[in-house]
């Protein structure tokens, strides 16, 4: 594997988590919603017999979710005891992950940074028509320079108040209504503050996507 030159153009993020062995099947259940593609994997034979869903996913034999509910919340505890909440949706959810699922379930308004390139008709504007509002981040700032959301391929969200930070793989675009994916969240005031501090501009509310 080599890092592609195209990877120097757009920002991205990664969230590394150490989970106990007992979490394997919970991770696999999420994958039945999100349809991941695998670069490489290895599952020891003893693990395979004890984790049939994961074995089916990796062998491309496990059926994906085909009936409601088309969303799934899963709670994890990392090996260091950090509580994490995963919110996944299947390609049959047919709604925005953030304003239709994440904000209502967290009961928090959100600032969301996602990829906003593509046709304007696909891009979802900030949504202030709902109880827990969702705002698109338009510019983030760092000591060595600022950049727009069109130069950032990462997908993350922070609660407007409180301490929620979520990192995932779904953009706020209508084309994503028909794509499986999700986000992993934790409540941590220190991490929340670091992310909140890099928000420079947000999109104020305009016409709401119908």
Q: Is the pLDDT score of 151 beyond 90?
A: no
Query: Percentage of the chain surpassing pLDDT 90?
Result: 75
The per-residue pLDDT for range 71-111, each reduced to its tens digit, is 999 999 999 999 999 999 999 999 999 999 999 999 999 99
Query: Can you give the pLDDT at residue 10?
Result: 76
The per-residue pLDDT for range 48-71, each reduced to its tens digit, is 999 999 999 999 888 899 999 999
- Whole-number Å distance between alpha carbons of 44 and 168: 27
Mean per-residue pLDDT, 137-145: 90
For β-strands 110-113 and 199-202, DSSP reports them as unpaired
Q: Compute the Cα dihedral for 129, 130, 133, 138 and give only its sign.
A: negative
Catalytic residue flag (residue 153): yes
Query: Can you give the pLDDT at residue 34?
Result: 96
Q: Is the pLDDT score of 206 beyond 60?
A: no
Q: Give me the numbers of helices (H) and strands (E) for the chain, helices first please.
A: 6, 9
Which candidate in 77, 85, 153, 178 is catalytic?
153
Inter-residue contact 88 to 35 (CB < 8 Å): no
Query: What would the two tokens of residue 170 be?
Result: 């779904």
Query: Can you give the pLDDT at residue 132?
Result: 97
Query: Can you give the pLDDT at residue 8?
Result: 73
| 9 or 136: which leads in pLDDT | 136
β-bridge partners, 72:
88
- Lowest-pLDDT choice from 29-38, 48-57, 146-155, 181-190: 146-155
Mean per-residue pLDDT, 200-209: 74
Mean per-residue pLDDT, 153-173: 95
The per-residue pLDDT for range 15-33, each reduced to its tens digit, is 999 999 999 999 999 999 9
| Other Cβ atoms closer than 10 A to 90 | 24
- pLDDT class for 210, splitting at 50, 70, 90? very low
């Amino acid at each position: 594997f080599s890092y592609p030159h195209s990877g120097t153009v757009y920002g991205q993020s990664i969230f590394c988590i150490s989970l106990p062995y007992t979490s394997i099947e919970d991770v696999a259940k999420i994958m039945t919603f999100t349809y991941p593609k695998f670069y490489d994997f290895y599952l020891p034979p003893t693990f395979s017999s004890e984790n049939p869903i994961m074995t089916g996913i990796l062998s491309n034999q496990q059926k994906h979710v085909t009936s409601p509910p088309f969303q799934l919340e899963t709670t994890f505890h990392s090996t260091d005891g950090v509580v994490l909440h995963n919110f996944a949706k299947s390609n049959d959810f047919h709604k925005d992950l953030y304003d239709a699922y994440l904000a209502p379930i967290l009961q928090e308004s959100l600032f969301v940074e996602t990829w906003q390139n593509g046709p304007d008709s696909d891009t979802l504007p900030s949504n202030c028509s709902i109880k827990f509002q969702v705002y698109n981040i338009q510019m983030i700032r760092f000591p060595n320079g600022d950049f727009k959301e069109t130069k950032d391929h990462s997908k993350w969200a922070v609660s407007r108040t409180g301490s929620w930070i979520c990192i995932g793989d779904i953009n706020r675009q209508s084309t994503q209504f028909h794509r499986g994916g999700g986000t992993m969240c934790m409540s941590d005031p220190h991490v929340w503050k670091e992310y909140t501090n890099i928000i420079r501009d947000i999109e104020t509310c305009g016409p709401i996507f119908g």
